[in-house]
Structure 1
Amino acid sequence: MSDDKHLDSLLPPLRLDRRGFMATALATGFAAAAGPVAAQSVVKTSAEGLTAGPVEIPVKDGKMWAYSAAPKDRKHLATVLVVSEIFGVHEYIQDVCRRLAHQGYLAVAPNLFAREGDPSKYTEIARLQAEVVQKVPDADVMSDLDATAKWAAAHGGDANKLGIIGFCWGGRMVWLYSAHNPRLKVGAAFYGPLRGKTDPQLRPHFPVELAGKLHAPIRGAYGGKDTGITQDDVAAMRAALEKGDKAARASVIDVYPNSGHAFHADYRPSYVKADADQAWQRALDWFGEHKLK
């Protein structure tokens, strides 16, 4: 999978230690829990001209694997952190990294579920949510994203040009990370939850509550037919952004009336190509407008 052979040696062995840090091998293919793959729709991006493959990110309690892609033999690249759906860093997220690399970015997708479990091993969304996703503290995600940004700055990235993009579960993390990291320049959130039930230990805040604290402007992409993230949620977020400071007021939420949830996920039946293409181009343009590159 990697053009750079040394990256393959960095792939951690499969091991599990719930008392400490858990590392799993790089996922291949698509997550089983996501359902049957709509193969005719899958976007497949070549790694030609890229350095792409698994890397290890030092984090507070061990090492976490990630998938990294960047233009070959280039340095001082703008970095984009790529935050996955609940299905982890499977082929779709890896492909997103390669797409960004072909745009001139260093794209890194960390395995943010590493301590709780391996999403690729699950076949049922309910079990995956209960046993892995819902056990991940927001604080760990913020810390791991900081560690990923630090790793990128030491491996060809420009610490002063940091962006983020996320999908579904990861879309929520985009909003949270903008409120967390003052060095972030820009972000794009694809249908990330905006409101929900909080938990003081795991999920103390949702984006609506943090809208006034954003450090970087975010462009959101939401489906008008999404039954999980409603238009009432979108309206509440827009109202909260309007009351915020500069970065909040500069943020934008686009609604795609003909799409539901996960409309950018080209391997799933929810994929809507026209809206996915437009939302993706808007995200790239957004990064350019805010001088990420």
Structure 2
Amino acid sequence: MLLSELVDQEKSGFEFDDNVWYRIRKEMCGGKMFLEAPAYKSGDLAALATSSQVIDVLKHSMHERIQNGLTEFSNYCIGSGIGPDKPVLTTFDADLVSYWNDFEKEAEQITSQFEPSSPWFKGFRSTLIQEIDECLSYWGEMMSGKEDYLIKVIPVYERWRNISSNVRYDSPVAAMLTSLFSNGICRSKDLRQWDLLKASLTFKRHHQRAWFVWQMAGRQLQFIKACTVRGAGENDLLIPIPVVSSTYRILRPDARRIERVIADQDRDFEDGS
């Protein structure tokens, strides 16, 4: 009861001051005005197990759970990949590379059907890979410096963001494959088809360099993943809609209001029966 009051004291108007603490010690602690210091203040973890102080009990319980969780995770990592029910821990995600893979498959089919001798797509892919790899090298150079992180990362991000298609339209294959490159989602300049393809290929080549990949292409990769998961049901047209943070706060479900609605529904059901 006391803990719940302390947690909600600002909302309930309750204030736990020195006078209240004095009265609690006098009325509930057998007149002991000076209590022993809790075991956690001494840093002795072994003493937590025998202490009856409420914070010691909570810290002991939390410590046990944390240690058990770390042990389970460590054992999982050590045994990862052994047996059919233990997948290997990996940074790879098939959903995130599917966007590029689907485009590549379509490009090969169109090339084979309309212009089998065209080297356009191979040159396009080679150039894009080279620019992404150079961006990764630039990342390594910048991150080795001692400047503030933002000073180091912004030039790398701008370089990755400015990687353009540079398409030569002297091939019917190029015209067909690149006709939708500039199309965006919800008028977002960062979610054009070109940006999503670039992000997917960046992830495919360098997913093990997770910090680089997610700092450069995190927004696009999140969108690709959301589309893949959202479109896995019966209605593939249900794509996620990006919203700004201020709008998200408005749209975020209110847990307390939901609880009240459910309670009201249950009460109405009981009254009706």
Pairwise same-fold verdict (TM > 0.5): no
Structure with greater strand percent = 1
The structure showing larger relative contact order (alpha-carbon pairs under 8 Å, at least 6 residues apart) is 1
Q: Which has the larger radius of gyration?
A: 2
Q: TM-score, normalised by structure 1?
A: 0.21
Structure with greater helix percent = 2
Q: TM-score, normalised by structure 2?
A: 0.22
